[in-house]
Amino acid sequence: MNGIKEQLVARLREDEAVISVLAVDNPSLFSALTDGFDLLLLVISNDDLKTDQQYHYIKDNCRIQERWICTSLLDRIIVQGERRNLIHWILKGEILLDRNIYLESLRHRMLEFPQEMREHKLLIEFSKFLRRYSESKEYVLDDHLLDAYNNILEALHHWARLVIIEAGLHPETTVWRQVKGVNPGVYKLYEELTMSKETLKQRVQLVLLACEFSVMSKMERCCKMLIQVLASREQAWSLHELQQNDKLADIRNELPLVLNKLVKKILAKEVIYTMDEQVSVLEIRYTNL
């Protein structure tokens, strides 16, 4: 296998756009970590046109998946935490090529988990939690219990990721195993929701109640980055201005819901501006308290 890796890296080294290459060996007969291939190569490039391209091939009876990604997309994925397999590859993969120690520096920064990255990830996870939690409450009221269950399970998943991030860790692919050691209470709720003998409606309502008391109390902490943006100028912000802010780009679609909750929890306030005097249209803008 080492000989195969050396030959593959020699080929990739000739491409000046390639910054780093890492390898992930298949840990089992079939592993979702490598999509079942014997070897996964992650090629990091400064060529945006090649990002997300994939190649499957065989060399010396070794089935190989080669995946390309550009640095800008990689940075976004790390913050968003969506592709947890990729984060695992970055942290655990074998570095085969690393020009200007790009990958080594990135790995070190992820392990260090700086405060700004942590605040950003907390805001993203909280906004996703809030969406699923709110939808589950609505489905329960309409007696759509399976939809309510599905959404509260997703909300609980985001809650688990929140407590893991608060502990200074990156959420792994096996979130529930990870959260069991970080916050047994959240893990216990997961067991209650999925394995309790109570009715489906009772299980969903139990978790909704826990979310209301535990996670909603984290709103100020999790929305710190958004609150800081609101306080960064004296003039109130329109929704459009906030959605164009680079720091809030990852929660653009969830901003209306989050802002509404911040106002109701008296963590932000609405300011009314006249948009069109002729038709008496008033614009809602937002600022800190």
The string of pLDDT tens digits covering residues 16-55 is 999 999 999 887 656 677 888 999 999 999 988 888 899 9
Q: What's the CA gap between 226 and 58, in Å, rounded?
A: 48
Q: Quote the pLDDT of residue 34.
A: 81
Average pLDDT over residues 141-152: 96
Helix axes 145-166, 200-210, angle to 10 degrees: 30
Q: Quote the pLDDT of residue 278.
A: 64
Q: Quote the pLDDT of residue 86.
A: 84
Average pLDDT over residues 259-274: 92
Bridge partners of 237? 286
> How many other C-beta atoms are found inside a 10 Å radius of the C-beta of residue 48?
13
Of 1.10.240.10, 2.60.60.20, 3.40.50.300, 1.20.120.330, the CATH number of 115-222 is: 1.20.120.330
Average pLDDT over residues 161-188: 91
Give tens-digit pLDDT for 71-102: 988 888 888 776 778 888 888 899 999 999 99
Distance of alpha carbon 54 from the chain centroid: 23
Q: Quote the pLDDT of residue 238.
A: 94
Q: Quote the pLDDT of residue 29.
A: 58
Average pLDDT over residues 53-80: 90
Average pLDDT, the chain: 90
> What 3-state class would DSSP assign to 207?
helix
pTM to 2 decimal places: 0.83
Dihedral (C-alpha) 119, 160, 265, 237: value to the nearest 10 degrees?
Answer: 40
Q: Quote the pLDDT of residue 36.
A: 85
Task: Tell me whether domains 115-222 and 229-289 share a fold.
Answer: no
| DSSP single-letter state for residue 236 | P
Q: Of all residues in the chain, what percent carry a pLDDT higher than 90?
A: 67
pLDDT at 275 over 80: no
Q: Quote the pLDDT of residue 165.
A: 93
Q: Quote the pLDDT of residue 149.
A: 97
Q: Would you list the domain boundaries of the chain?
A: 2-112, 115-222, 229-289
pLDDT at 279 over 70: no
Give tens-digit pLDDT for 189-240: 999 999 999 999 999 999 999 998 888 888 999 999 999 999 999 999 999 9
Enter the CATH code of domain 2-112: 3.30.460.10
pLDDT at 161 over 80: yes
Q: Quote the pLDDT of residue 31.
A: 66
Buried-exposed string 67-89: b where 16+ CB fall within 10 A, e elsewhere: bbbbbeebeebbbebeebebbbb
Average pLDDT over residues 250-275: 92
Rg (CA), the chain: 23
Q: Domain 229-289's class?
A: mainly alpha
pLDDT at 58 over 90: yes
